[in-house]
Chain A
Amino acid sequence: MILLNQIIQGVLLGGYYALIACGLSFMFGVMRIINLAHGSLAVLSAYALYVLADSYGVSPFLGLVVVVPAMALIGAGLQRTVLERSARGGLLVPVLSTFGLSIVIDNLLFEKFGADTRSLAPYIGDLSYDSWAITDDIAIGKLAALTMATAIVLLGGIQLFLNRTPLGRMIRATAEDPDTVGLVGVSAERVNAIAAGLAIATVAISGAFLAMRATFNPYAGALQLIFAFEATVIGGAGSLWGTLFGGIVLGVAQSLGASVSPQGFFIAGHLAFLAALFFRLFFGDLGLNLRRVLVRRPQ
């Protein structure tokens, strides 16, 4: 029963990882851009919501109405000023430039807010600790469930958007071959700016959940980037449903690791990531294989 509870809590934790990985997976898998400032942008959104809640009394959910469009604009601007120029410089440059950007964001946040840890938990009432009791041993937190639901809606929504809408097709086509989409009258720059805006908008949402479920500080971005990356890689780059699966594998591994020893939480997560890499070397993509087995649809 204890084991079952740990697995359930791990799955729910995985919902958060899937959520934080959503924007990274979208940029990495679809746009083929690696954004090392991903975690820092999530923390930036968390601070924006914190300021709105703390200074103006705006509830975090209402605050998202302001912060999500603002982050979308930042994302589009980032694409225009940094990512696009970097991508032209080859594989190397985006990694270097976005890492530089993350250092700038982290330290500016530190300059503004100091080393104190903050949380949005006090501003969401009993949602932060309320739960549904399933049995005597197992309870499901309402916030965790909301996180999972948000992750599913966001990942599924983006997947549908990419597959079914004209703009989604344009985004995929632009990632595939920006010069050719130019020939058929699509502005690759505009499409990429929209896509980056969308990706960073999801980062804003994940930043809200980061801040509601726990505490954060100006340097919390690095770990969020690593978790997002691990979930993306375990799930198989390029598939958003895979990312949900990757997040859950990561969450369950951490939850089980924590039951072995206090340090086991992080160690098990990183080991799960390395195991997934190792698996990929010999058997191909874990997420992809699993989908093939489960769905059994000719690719």
Chain B
Amino acid sequence: MKAPAIRIERWTPESRVALALALIVAALLAVGPLLFDANIVDRLTTLFIYVILAVMWNALVGYCGLVSIGQQAFFGLGAYFAVRLADLGFSVYPSLFVAALIVGALSLPLSTIMLRLKGGEFAIGMWVVAELAHLLVNLDTLINGETGTSLIALNAYAIGKRRALTYWCAFAAMAGLLAVVFVLLRGPTGAAIQAIRDNEQAAESIGVRVTRAKRLVFMLSATGAALAGSLWVATAVTFQPRTYFSPQWTAYMIFMALVGGLGTFEGAILGAVVFFLIEAWFGGAGVWYLVGLGAAALVFALALPRGIWGWVEDKTALRLLPVGYRVKLIGEPDVDKGA
């Protein structure tokens, strides 16, 4: 019997349409402050930061299989360095990005220790790192301990201009990070890190440089979380260490990635939008809102670990922004080859 002819497919017609739509939406959002009123601009800025958090956590966990409960370490440090740099007299907006790069550089030595840990040890070990980072930041007299401080350098800008600049920074950060993650996941590194997630020994045996790939994702995820933190301090203005180093940020990331779809590129974005809407509707419910978030994370982890988008993918084989491969038998129905 003749072997069936196959074709490896990456882009599909619907994914080309989706990418075109995504680019149109991005182009619209890029001129957001000219189109929308102040309230919407502020809310979109928040949404962009949520997308960054969700995508960064998803890259680390959903693709690399490294669950961290300590990403608030990077979030808080990003905000801290932004405040520190601004206090030293650097221009505020470039400082947001430089702060994230500093944190990214700090995550390199950290990765040499932490990446030796596995599973639950890595998860809580990162939490300890976050606690330690929090305590060390409190030692800086600029911060005034738990009282915190403000990004007063922002006062140099008129309120409207500040809102638009913060929006553009958040948008640029989100678009840039999404593009980096998309390209990274589609490339050889993406295949490598997913192989590590699925079976580390097997990946190593076929020549994947495990440590290098893990370190790359760990550092990217640290830099992204730090950028989210520095952007957050630009929107919130005040910096209180307890708020920024709270594990609640990781709870949000887990919720977004789990509900949207762990290990799917589109899922993290969807999860951020879902979280944003839930917060807008139920955020006022206070404690019960947090109970709901925790319960949702629990239920999704047990019943639907690949989230809403994972479920859609399994049912429909739909890929809007494909980062994987699929095998197509010519003249036969589609055979789906996973993410």
Residues of A at the B interface (CB closer than 8 Å) are: 28, 34, 36, 82, 85-86, 89, 91-97, 99-104, 107-108, 110-111, 222, 225-226, 229-230, 233, 237, 263, 266-267, 270-271, 273-274, 277-278, 281
Contact = CB atoms under 8 A, between A and B. Distances in A.
Contacts of A281: 113, 116
B279 interface: no
Given A34-B120, A91-B119, A111 B288 contact: yes
Contacts of B124: 34, 36, 225-226, 229
Contacts of A226: 124, 127-128, 131
Given A95-B120, A96-B67, A273-B128, 17 more contacts: A34-B120, A34-B121, A85-B302, A89-B301, A92-B67, A94-B120, A96-B258, A97-B301, A99-B251, A100-B254, A226-B127, A226-B128, A263-B138, A270-B132, A274-B132, A277-B113, A277-B116
A99 B136 CA distance: 25
B328 to A, nearest CB: 29
Contact of B135 (A93, A96, A107, A267): A267
Contacts of B254: 96, 99-100
B295 interface: yes
Contacts of A85: 302
A288 to B, nearest CB: 15
Contact of B305 (A93, A108, A263): A93
Contacts of B258: 96
A108 B291 contact: yes
B24 interface: no
B177 to A, nearest CB: 23
A33 B67 CA distance: 15
Contacts of A278: 113
Contact of A104 (B128, B139, B247, B294): B294
Contacts of A273: 128
Given A100-B298, A266-B135, A278-B113, A95 B123 contact: yes
Nearest to A114: B287
A267 B129 CA distance: 10
A274 B118 CA distance: 15
Contacts of B56: none
Interface in B292-314: 293-299, 301-302, 305
Given A93-B302, A222-B247, A281-B116, A100 B123 contact: no
Contact of B290 (A92, A107, A277): A107
Contact of B65 (A82, A92, A267, A274): A92
Contact of A267 (B117, B120, B136, B305): B136
Nearest to B257: A96
A94 B65 CA distance: 13
B324 interface: no
A274 B128 CA distance: 9
Nearest to A38: B124
Contacts of B287: 107, 110-111
B120 A89 contact: no
Ranked 5 nearest A-B pairs via Cβ: A34-B120, A103-B294, A100-B297, A100-B298, A104-B294
17 contacts: A34-B121, A86-B301, A92-B67, A92-B119, A92-B305, A93-B302, A95-B67, A96-B258, A100-B296, A100-B298, A100-B301, A107-B287, A226-B127, A229-B124, A267-B135, A273-B128, A274-B132
Nearest to B293: A103
